[in-house]
Amino acid sequence: MRTAETTLTGKHLIGGKHRGSCRRKFRGVNPATGMPLETWFCEAGTKDVNLALKLADKAFDALQTVPAEKIAALLERIACRLESEGEGIIARAHQETALPLARLGSELTRTAGQARAFGALALDGSWAQARIDHANPGRLPLPKPDIRTVFMGVGPVAVFGASNFPLAISVAGTDTVAAFAARCPVVVKGHPAHPGTCELVARVISESIAWAGLPPGMFSMIQSSGYEAGLALVKHPLTSVVAFTGSLRGGRALFDAAAARPEPIPVYAEMGSVNPVFILPGAAAGRAEEIAEGFVRSLNMGAGQYCTSPGMVLGVAGPALDKFIRAVLENASTVAPAAMLHAGIQKAYDRGTERLSSIPGVKLAGAGAAQAAGPKAAICKILTADAGLIARRPELYDEVFGPSSIIYRCRNAAQMLEIARSMPGSLTATIHGTEAELLKQGELLRALERKAGRIVFNGFPTGLEPCASLHHGGPYPATTHSFFTSVGTAAIFRYVRPVCFQGFPDSSLPEELREKNPRPVRRLVDGELK
């Protein structure tokens, strides 16, 4: 029986073909053992990037007349092929990321579900938000023209996969299937921490496109361990939009490169977030131990490598908060060390926690279980500090990616509100309290509405439901544009723009705007939703 390792080519998959001269190579590493894996992967150059985008640009024109049924069939095929090839994909992803098999199995299910959700959205057509205002030639003092507007795809999309979600936010992740639903071709830069996983998933997509009879240039995946290929993607004149999930430094570099182009393009980057948790006095008094248990579980989910990991907690100083802290330390002490996704993340976590604990006034109050012999792993760390320190040391707001968090003692609720108003943008904010307390803390809620993309009440921010109502975004530095989500079906709006048609004959209009509504789709017609 062949293994995934022996069937990997190590080449790019560009327009349906394996390509790459492999003059420069890199390998994946098993983070649990620290040992490199067998297959060498080609480093992409500017020729590879240029070819992928030329094919994508050509495919874009062809995709604009493809029936929605064919796009939906493609996305269903991708979902089915992910499931049928899931065992090999999961095995390789486990080797490259050290994420548990059960977690990867759940993530693959989510990835297939996302593809199906966008297939249904493509069929439904509501995302196009068709609007029609009929002509009124007899209107005085001026005739009213016939005006119709619909959302259409923007062009070739460059996707940068996330290290912490090798399936759901990677080659076949939300960005790719959302772009496909909008009839946009995609060029993915595979993540260098899981190149084998990227190749296996890219094959699924490429083979599904061939099955559907769609242009092969609709999808390409290039591999690279450095920054040059990614910057070449962003700067290429045929790239229309960029999707990125990763660090603040990486996202900002791509954003700046895109803004410096002769023709700037949007970069939808999801970056750093501390995801504050506010514990109101009533919740601390009544549920300290319950909240502590859930908090430690949330903090250590995926070894703390979730973009929504709760990196700071704020509560009013007193016996109730002290009880919460004791319960947190007790729960944290039993958490075993866990391998992180790759050595770079591990080093950044160690540097980050050392930096925080070296700040005068910040105390390392407790930690997880001690590490046994073997490759370096992440140890859960719980720090405490007085909330007044934040105003003097704003670097405390910087994200440390991994299973560490700082619990701040506030003088009173007014200080909690002051911190909420001054904190930077975040993907999430969480409030624990009673319903009566929440009603009294209207100012705190208003402050968090301005600072976070998703506000959680009496829950925890980790774990996302990728549905139509979810918004996974937030003000800078959480993202580069707080309007757009990177998870859920509303992600399609990253890849579309409105196009207005005035005075056109019906036969030349997009289907969504034709008078008889042949698909049919819901539309706003002369101010009425029909």
Do 365 and 488 lie in a common domain?
no
Q: Hey, what are 381's tokens?
A: 């760390």
Do 362 and 284 lie in a common domain?
yes
**Which is catalytic among the residues 43, 96, 199, 270?**
270
pLDDT in tens, 308-359: 999 999 999 999 999 999 999 999 999 999 999 999 999 999 999 999 999 9
Catalytic site includes residue 307: yes
Do 52 and 117 lie in a common domain?
yes
Whole-angstrom CA distances from 1 to 10, 37, 88, 196, 201 are 20, 19, 12, 18, 20
- Confidence check: pLDDT of 471 > 50: yes
Q: CA-CA distance, 33 to 411, in Å (whole number)?
A: 46
Q: Given this model, what pLDDT does residue 418 score? A: 97
Task: Tell whether 58 is covered by a domain.
Answer: yes
For the chain, give the mean pLDDT: 95
Q: Given this model, what pLDDT does residue 6 score? A: 52
Do 260 and 395 lie in a common domain?
no
Mean pLDDT across 76-88 = 98
**Which is catalytic among the residues 42, 307, 380, 410?**
307
Mean pLDDT across 391-416 = 96
Query: Binning pLDDT at 50, 70 and 90, where does residue 373 land?
Result: low
Q: Given this model, what pLDDT does residue 473 score? A: 96
Query: Binning pLDDT at 50, 70 and 90, where does residue 375 land?
Result: confident
Please name which of 495, 63, 14 lies closest in space to residue 239, comparing C-alpha atoms.
495
| Inter-helix orientation angle 68-84/101-124, to 10° | 170
Domain hosting residue 290, numbered range: 276-457
Query: Binning pLDDT at 50, 70 and 90, where does residue 21 land?
Result: confident
- Confidence check: pLDDT of 2 > 50: no
Mean pLDDT across 101-105 = 96
Q: Given this model, what pLDDT does residue 380 score? A: 97
Catalytic site includes residue 83: no
Query: Binning pLDDT at 50, 70 and 90, where does residue 201 land?
Result: very high
pTM, two decimals, is: 0.95
Do 218 and 286 lie in a common domain?
no
CA pseudo-torsion sign 13, 14, 17, 20: negative
Task: Tell whether 214 is covered by a domain.
Answer: yes
Task: Tell whether 511 is covered by a domain.
Answer: no
Please name which of 431, 388, 461 lies closest in space to residue 284, comparing C-alpha atoms.
431
Whole-angstrom CA distances from 327 to 418, 430, 459 are 27, 19, 17
Do 213 and 65 lie in a common domain?
yes
Length of the chain counted residue by residue: 530
> CATH number of the domain that 116 lies in?
3.40.605.10
Do 281 and 251 lie in a common domain?
no
Q: Given this model, what pLDDT does residue 5 score? A: 52
**How many distinct structural domains can be found in the chain?**
2
Q: How many C-beta atoms surround the C-beta of residue 143 within 10 A?
A: 10
Mean pLDDT across 189-215 = 98
pLDDT in tens, 204-224: 999 999 999 999 999 999 999
Query: Binning pLDDT at 50, 70 and 90, where does residue 376 land?
Result: confident
Q: CA-CA distance, 10 to 228, in Å (whole number)?
A: 19
Q: Given this model, what pLDDT does residue 1 score? A: 33
Determine contact, residues 246/254, Cβ cutoff 8 Å.
no
Q: Given this model, what pLDDT does residue 372 score? A: 76
Do 74 and 90 lie in a common domain?
yes
- Confidence check: pLDDT of 4 > 60: no
pLDDT in tens, 25-65: 999 999 999 999 999 999 999 999 999 999 999 999 999 99
Task: Tell whether 3 is covered by a domain.
Answer: no
- Confidence check: pLDDT of 371 > 90: no
